[in-house]
Amino acid sequence: MADRGTAVVTGASSGIGADIARQLAARAYPLVLVARRRDRLDALAADITRDHKVDVVVLAQDLAAPDAATAVLDAVRARGLAVEVLVNNAGYGMQGRFLDMSMADVERMFRLNATTLTHLTQLFAREMVARGSGYVLNVASAAAFLPSPYVSAYAATKAYVLSFSEALRFELRGTGVSITTLYPGITTTEFNDVAHAKTPAAMNLSILSSDAVARIGLRALFNRKRAVVPGLINKLNAIFCTVLPRGFIVHVTGLLLGRANGW
């Protein structure tokens, strides 16, 4: 098999990021795994090395820190690695009444979900364009398609990822570098626990495993698709968000989330 360029995966310590890392390793990609929790990264790296015999570099980096993207690039360059795939998966959500949230926590979420994603995309896409080939997968959310009460700031960060990624994809036409945006719905990960989120029972039918979401996302990435929404119900919800009156969708979403969480 021909030598592969390296794949960088952020938020790789659990959930969708960890499954994307495993599936990239199964495709023979050497990996750079980035997240805060070194113990989890080390455990994942050991499993991947044992199962797939690829090189794995672990970077314990808080991606919400200022200049985090530059630190990742510097670490990759110091090892002489050529990055062929960038997966911007790191992110977290906050659920509740916005007026009750700590602004410091909101700003940290914006840095992780939007600022660092943007900077990593710029830094690595520049190098990919210079080489004439590369793939970028930006992980947004089904929440990107509409303003969502009680996750208002989080949904706004994911709407940013939608707009930024799909517009930049156009700018990169003809460069050999493509950007694919993944819009997962509710997934069996730690995400809801971190966000202290409860979801309406009706949404349980849309839940997918992180392994399935990772597989769908990578298939779209390597086919250089613009975007992918995993799961039929999530696809239908995305369509409804574009054809039904926006005020109606926001009202229904607010009622469902409010009732599920006792607000």
Segment 180-218, tens digit of pLDDT = 999 998 866 554 454 455 555 545 556 789 999 999 999
Query: Phi and psi (nearest 5°) for 139?
Result: -95, 110
By the 8 A CB rule, do 85 and 7 touch?
yes
Banded model confidence at residue 247, pLDDT cuts 50, 70, 90: confident
Whether 198 is catalytic is no
Nearest Cα to Cα of residue 85 among 226, 185, 180: 180
Segment 30-42, tens digit of pLDDT = 999 999 999 999 9
Sequence spans of domains, the chain: 6-261
By the 8 A CB rule, do 6 and 82 touch?
yes
Whether 225 is catalytic is no
Which carries the bigger pLDDT value, residue 262 or residue 152? 152
Mean pLDDT, rounded, of the chain = 90
In the chain, what percentage of residues exceed pLDDT 90?
A: 76
Catalytic residue among 135, 158, 160, 183: 158
119: Cβ contacts below 8 Å, ≥ 6 apart: 68, 69, 70
In the block, tokens 């706004």 appear at 156
Find the DSSP H helices in 1-116.
15-26, 38-52, 68-78, 103-110
Which carries the bigger pLDDT value, residue 112 or residue 259? 112
Catalytic residue among 154, 160, 183, 235: 154
Q: Under CATH, what is the fold of the domain 6-261?
A: Rossmann fold (3.40.50)
